[in-house]
């Protein structure tokens, strides 16, 4: 799958973009409004598959709405989870660092600048932190192989686990730490940091890169889409949606228009046009 680097923030969907080729969303009604969906904890609850009822509901939604799957996983690790029926959908990976437009094989990557890469290396090495660093396609993993993330890593056998120094660029990093000083240092440098205390890790993305910013690169405007998510890395995605649905009870998403539990996800998707 071709991968190329782009500058952040000014990408506009072309004729093969997700929703509207000129970057202007149709605000005329719910039909054709993009539906943007987080994956893990929202649609996928075992790290590997989507249940039949959720797949059926997504197929019904797709009949009226373009779908965008937006995950913390890089596109490489998102593809094996999605059923073949959705293989051509638009994808946002790495919390916004990776974008693949609908009907396209190309993956656009926003990488860390050299100074941010050097800072990540310094923090990882000075504190001997286990980490997962994704390059444009390959990755470097030095964490615990019993961790959920490792079990989901490169399930399709599509990439290589390399030393960090062998990666041409860094696109996303996961540091297995909850150290407040590390978090403050990274945020102080302007990087995007999402803290996941339940999993004892932090996600780090380039400055300004989020799932929400990736929507702009697809030409999807604020207030012109429905979003479904479950975690802190979905905050901006839901905050700027016309309609936001929270799966579960994460307090960072208290502002969502609706909250459902796992058993209600399929039904909530089917009801989107009501």
**Domain with 128 in it: what CATH number?**
3.30.1240.10
Pairwise CA distance, residues 110 & 90, whole Å: 16
Burial grade of 46 (CB within 10 A; 0-12, 13-18, 19 or more): exposed
Q: What is the pLDDT of residue 20?
A: 35
Residues 87 and 143 in one domain: no
Based on the structure, what is the number of domains in the chain?
2
**What stretches of the chain adopt beta strand conformation (E)?**
3-5, 35-37, 67-70, 90-93, 98-100, 107-109, 131-134, 139-141, 172-175, 192-196, 201-205, 226-229, 243-247, 258-260
Q: pTM of the predicted model, to two decimals?
A: 0.85
Residues 102 and 176 in one domain: no
Contacts of 214 (CB under 8 A, 6+ apart): 70, 92, 96, 99
Residues 30 and 90 in one domain: yes
> Which residue, of 205, 231, 253, is where some domain finishes?
205
Q: What is the pLDDT of residues 137-184, one digit of tens each?
A: 999 999 889 888 898 899 889 899 999 999 999 999 999 999 999 999
Residues 154 and 237 in one domain: no
Show the tokens assigned to 132. 């997962």
> Which residue, of 205, 232, 252, is where some domain finishes?
205
DSSP 107: E
Q: Which domain holds residue 130?
A: 114-205
> Which residue, of 161, 181, 205, is where some domain finishes?
205
Pairwise CA distance, residues 207 & 209, whole Å: 6
DSSP 227: E
Residues 63 and 159 in one domain: no
Q: What is the pLDDT of residue 19?
A: 39
Residues 96 and 219 in one domain: yes
Which residue in 193, 174, 158, 172 sits closest to 77, CA to CA? 158
């Amino acid at each position: 799958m071709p991968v190329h680097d782009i500058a952040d923030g000014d990408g506009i969907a072309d004729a093969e973009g997700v929703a509207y080729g000129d970057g202007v969303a149709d605000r005329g009604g719910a039909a054709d409004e993009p539906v943007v969906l987080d994956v893990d904890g929202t649609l996928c609850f075992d790290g590997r598959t989507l249940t039949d009822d959720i797949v059926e509901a997504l197929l019904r939604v797709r009949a009226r709405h373009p779908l965008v799957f937006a995950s913390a996983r890089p596109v490489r690790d998102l593809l094996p989870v999605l059923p073949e029926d959705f293989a051509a959908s638009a994808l946002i990976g790495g919390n916004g660092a990776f974008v693949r437009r609908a009907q396209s094989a190309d993956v656009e990557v926003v990488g860390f600048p050299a100074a941010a890469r050097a800072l990540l290396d310094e923090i990882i090495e000075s504190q001997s932190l286990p980490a997962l660093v994704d390059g444009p396609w390959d990755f470097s993993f030095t964490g615990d192989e019993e961790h959920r993330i490792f079990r989901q890593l490169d399930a399709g056998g599509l990439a290589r686990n390399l030393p960090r120094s062998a990666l041409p660029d860094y696109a996303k990093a996961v540091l297995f730490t909850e150290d407040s000083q590390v978090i403050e240092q990274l945020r102080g440098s302007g990087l995007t940091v999402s803290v996941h205390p339940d999993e004892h890790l932090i996600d780090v993305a380039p400055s300004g890169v989020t799932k929400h910013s990736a929507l702009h690169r697809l030409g999807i405007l604020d207030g012109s889409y429905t979003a479904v998510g479950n975690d802190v890395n979905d905050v901006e995605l839901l905050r700027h949606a016309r309609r936001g649905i929270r799966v579960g009870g994460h307090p960072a998403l208290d502002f969502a228009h609706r909250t459902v539990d796992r058993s209600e996800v399929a039904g909530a998707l089917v009801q989107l046009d009501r």
